[in-house]
Amino acid sequence: MNPVMDWEKESQGGDYMVYPEGTYKVSITSYEQVTASTGTKQIRWRASILEPVDYINKPITIHTPLTEKSLWKIALLVKACGVDMKALGTMEVNTPAFLHVLDRVVRKTTYWHLTVTLDNKGKERNEVDDFKLDAEQEIETITVDEDVPEFLRDDKA
C-alpha cells in the first residue's frame, strides 16, 4: 500500500513540532476518534496556538485515551472550554451524546500547560498536564435533554 500525502499537514512540518514548556492559549480546531498502536481508543485533539505570539497559528495535537483512568483529562479539557459540567450528568463514552459534547468544544479557546516528555521511542514530545479556562470564554450549559436531538440521546426509548 502506498503512503498517503497530506499536503497541508506535511508543509507545516507535521503535528510533531515540540514546543517549549509553558502555557499556550489555543483554539480547538477539530477532534477525531483514533486507535493508538497499543489498541487503546482515544480522542485526537487538534488545536491552533493563539498565544504566545512567537507560535501564533502553529498547530498542536494531543491525545486523550478513552480509558477509565484517563477520562478526567477529557473532563478537564471540556470544562476548560467553558462547558458547565453540572448539566451534563453521566454518559457513556463514544455515544452520540458524548460526541455531541465534544463537538461543542470545537472552536472554543482554552489554556494548555505543556511539558516536554519522551515517548516510548525516546523522542521528545509535548504533553498537556493542565487545562485552564480562558476568562474571556463564555460558560456554556449543555443539557442532553434540550441540546442533543432525540435520535442521538443515550436514553432514547
Which pTM was predicted?
0.78
Q: Is the residue at 140 inside a domain?
A: yes
Q: Rounded distance, CA 131 to CA 94, Å?
A: 22
Q: Which residue has the cell 483512568?
A: 69
CB 31 within 8 A of CB 102: yes
Split into its structural domains, the chain has a count of 1
Strands 140-141 and 83-84: parallel
Report which DSSP code applies to 87: G
Q: Is residue 98 part of a domain?
A: yes
The 10s digit of each residue's pLDDT in 53-107 is: 999 999 999 999 999 999 999 999 999 999 888 878 888 898 888 998 999 899 9
Q: What is the pLDDT of residue 156?
A: 44
Domain hosting 123: range is: 19-27+68-152
Is residue 123 within 8 A of residue 14, CB to CB? The reply is no
Q: Does residue 3 belong to any structural domain of this protein?
A: no
For residue 28, pLDDT beyond 80: yes
Residues 6+ apart with CB under 8 A from 69: none
Mean pLDDT, residues 34-43 taken together: 91
| Class of residue 14 by CB neighbours under 10 A (exposed 0-12, middle 13-18, buried 19+) | exposed
Asked if residue 59 belongs to a domain, the reply is no
151 has a pLDDT exceeding 80: no
The reply to whether 9 falls in a domain is: no
Question: Is 23 within a domain?
Answer: yes
Mind listing the pLDDT tens digit for each residue in 117-149?
A: 998 888 889 999 999 999 887 777 776 555 555
The per-residue pLDDT for 120 is: 81
Which of 152, 107, 111, 116 lies closest to 133, judged by CA?
A: 111
Best mean pLDDT range from 22-31, 34-43, 86-95, 142-151: 22-31
Q: Report the amino acid identity of residue 2.
A: N
* Structural domain contains residue 36: no
Query: Is residue 44 in some structural domain?
Result: no
